[in-house]
Amino acid sequence: MKAPKLRGPFRNVRTEPRTFTFKSRHLPDSRPEWEERKRRVEEEVNGASDGPRPIKFRQGGRNAEGRAARRAASVRASRMAALRAGVVALVLVYLTYRAILWVESHDYGRFLHFMQSNG
């Protein structure tokens, strides 16, 4: 077995570094979805040079009302989710309070005394 070669501090320009190429036996070399995507991108690039492209701004524009409505619906939904979480938290706190009152109202002294005497 040969000893592994260590890289030197200087790059040797005469030799090309080793590369790894994986050739799958199960898939064809060119996939159809990549070819379709490449064709669409080339059409966009070639078609875009014919005329000036329209400038698109984030605020305003053709669909500003729809965006504002979606934003308002999102804010409303997040507020309702926070309200539901608050109601659930209040119910759990109330149930815990009632459970504590119930435990304090019952006499578990005999039961605890029974546990201490057997131990």
**Domain boundaries of the chain, sorted by first residue:** 73-109
Distance CA 83, CA 80 (A): 5
Q: Note the pLDDT tens digit of each residue in 104-117.
A: 887 766 666 666 66
Residues 6+ apart with CB under 8 A from 23: 29
Distance CA 102, CA 106 (A): 7
Is the pLDDT at 49 greater than 60? The verdict is no
Q: Quick one: CA dihedral 48, 53, 55, 60, positive or negative? A: negative
| Amino acid making up residue 34 | W
Residue % of the chain over a pLDDT of 90:
23
Lowest mean pLDDT among 9-13, 35-39, 67-71: 9-13
User: What pLDDT score does 59 carry?
Assistant: 60
Q: How does residue 2 score in pLDDT terms, banded at 50, 70 and 90?
A: confident
The rounded percent of the chain whose pLDDT value lies above 70 is 58
